[in-house]
Structure 1
Amino acid sequence: MTPAAAPVAPVQTWLVRVSGRVQGVGYREACVREARRLALAGWVRNRSDGTVEVLAQGRVERLTRLHAWLRRGPPAAHVVRVEIVPQEPPEPPAPQTFERRPTE
């Protein structure tokens, strides 16, 4: 008899918009470090409206941990609002690592 395989945690994709004092404070660089530490794929970028946008893909438990970090951000940030929108997997797929993208 072979041992039963452990259930695989489902992968989700979240699009997150972060508002407050989140540009010019090292938020994107710190976000990349945290997302990579959590082994998430995706990207982070500044938006022309002053927000930061994050597309993150991974297991729900790790996305939840990233969400907790996004609400705090790096020391110089002052986060006012974090909005999460679950997404279908992006086309083209999210990068296999987490990267910083140019402002859009």
Structure 2
Amino acid sequence: MAAARFYVAGKVQGVWFRASTREQAVALELRGYANNLRDGRVEVLAVGDEAAVERLAEWLRQGPPNSRVDRVEREPAGEGEAGDGFVCG
């Protein structure tokens, strides 16, 4: 089991980034969330199979078609920080 927190910067708000992230995470059977931050970034918590977390990390570097990802920061997270399923806040 792996857990990671990502901070995604760029044109990532108002372009369906959170909903698209949720679709990817659900398909990968991950738990966690995607939330907009006041500074314009999106915070993503992903918990699940290590390979699935890595696949989501790769996807976050590209994002959905209307987004522009400038930077993705990653830090460790606790598995207990995620509830059931994957939600957008």
Tell me the TM-score normalized by structure 2: 0.95
Give the secondary-structure state (helix, strand or coil) at the position aligned to 2:13: coil
User: 1: CA distance between counterparts of 2:10 and 2:70?
Assistant: 5
TM-align CA RMSD: 0.9
Question: CA separation in 2, counterparts of 1:89 and 1:40?
Answer: 11
How much has 1:89 moved relative to structure 2?
A: 2.6
Q: Which residues in structure 2 correspond to 1:1-104 (within 5 Å)?
A: 11-90=1-80, 93-101=81-89
Distance (Å, rounded) in 2 between the aligned partners of 1:49 and 1:73: 18
- Whole-Å Cα distance in 1 between the matches of residues 18 and 62 of structure 2? 13
Structure 2: give runs of 5+ residues left out of the alignment.
none
The structure whose Rg is larger is 1
Provide the residue aligned with 1:5 in structure 2: none
Aligned length: 89
Deviation at 1:59? 1.2
- The structure that is helix-richer by fraction is 2
TM-score (ref. length: structure 1): 0.82
Percent of matched pairs sharing the same residue:
39
The alpha-carbon deviation at position 52 of structure 1 amounts to 0.2
